[in-house]
Amino acid sequence: MVFYIHAFPERLHHPKESGLLFVALRACGDEAGPLLDRLDAEHSRGEAAVMRLAMDLIEVEQLGPARLESFAEGVERYVDAYLRHMEVEEREVLPLAERVLGDADWRRIVAAAPAPVGLGPALRCAS
């Protein structure tokens, strides 16, 4: 799960949100600037947060169950922050996008989204 979080949300999903959706929203006006700044900052801290989880997991594996409670607390903090982040995007950013983005913006976003959701290349599992 830690590998997945690093490989998909941190490396693929968040950069597309920041680099496509948020850029398009910023081009439509300053309405959401502070909110997008906050979400961009959360995106930029995400990889370090996942790396902390990975290191905490390695400690559990190498040092034993005494480290399990600390790892579980780290997971809880990460999940809580991630769910708050997603809730803000779903409650505020996506409705704003529906309201202000035009056809050209949506074509660009759909072209970048991987199939089958969008028209971009389907994601492949690393082997």
The residues that touch Fe ion, with contacts defined as CB under 5 A, are 17
Closest contact distance (angstroms) between CB of 42 and Fe ion is 7
Token readout for 95 is: 């409705």
Residue 10 or 17 having the CB closest to Fe ion: 17
Among residues 58 and 91, whose Cβ is nearest to Fe ion? 91
DSSP 8-state assignment for residue 6:
I
Query: What's the DSSP call for residue 119?
Result: S
Residue (57 or 81) nearer to Fe ion, CB: 81
Least distance to Fe ion, CB of residue 99, Å: 19
CA 127/CA 8 separation, integer angstroms: 15
Please report how close the Cβ of residue 41 comes to Fe ion at its closest, in angstroms.
Answer: 11
**CB nearest Fe ion: which residue?**
17
d(CA 117, CA 122): 9
Burial 43-81 (b: 16+ CB within 10 A, else e): beebeebbeebeebbeebeeeeeebeeebeebeeebeee
- Residue 17 or 56 with smaller CB distance to Fe ion: 17
Q: How far apart are CA 15 and CA 40, in angstroms?
A: 9
Closest distance of CB 82 from Fe ion, Å: 9
